[in-house]
Amino acid sequence: MLAIAQFPVIGARFGVMVIPGGVADRKTTKVFRKVTEMSEALTLPAETRERAGKGASRALRREGRIPAVIYGGKEEPTMIHVEQKELVKQLMTGHFMNSIVEIELNGKKVRALPKAVALNPVSDIPEHADFFRMVKGGKIEVEVPVVFIDEEESPGLKKGGVLNVVRHELELVCENDKIPGEIVISVKGKDVGDAIHISEVTLPAGSESAITDRDFTIATLVAPSALKKSEEEADEEEIPADGVAATEQGPDDDAAQEQEDKAPDEE
Q: Mind listing the pLDDT tens digit for each residue in 203-224?
A: 999 999 999 999 999 999 999 8
Confidence at residue 47, expressed as pLDDT on a 0 to 100 scale: 94
Count of positions (residues) in the chain: 267
Q: Which is higher by pLDDT, 226 or 186?
A: 186
Q: Which CATH architecture has domain 140-266?
A: Beta Complex (2.170)
CATH superfamily of the domain spanning 3-135: Ribosomal Protein L25; Chain P (2.40.240.10)
**What type of residue sits at position 53?**
G
Q: Does the pLDDT of residue 114 top 50, yes or no?
A: yes
Can you give the pLDDT at residue 84? 95
Q: How far apart are CA 6 and CA 169, in angstroms?
A: 20
User: Is the overall model pTM greater than 0.75, yes or no?
Assistant: no
Encode pLDDT of 13-34 as tens digits.
Answer: 333 233 333 333 333 334 444 4
CA 191 to chain centre: 28
Q: How many CA atoms lie within 13 A of 258 on its CB side?
A: 24
State percent of the chain over pLDDT 70.
Answer: 69
Residue 254: predicted pLDDT? 60
Domain boundaries, the chain: 3-135, 140-266
CA distance 171 to 180: 12
pLDDT band at 255 (very low <50, low <70, confident <90, very high): low
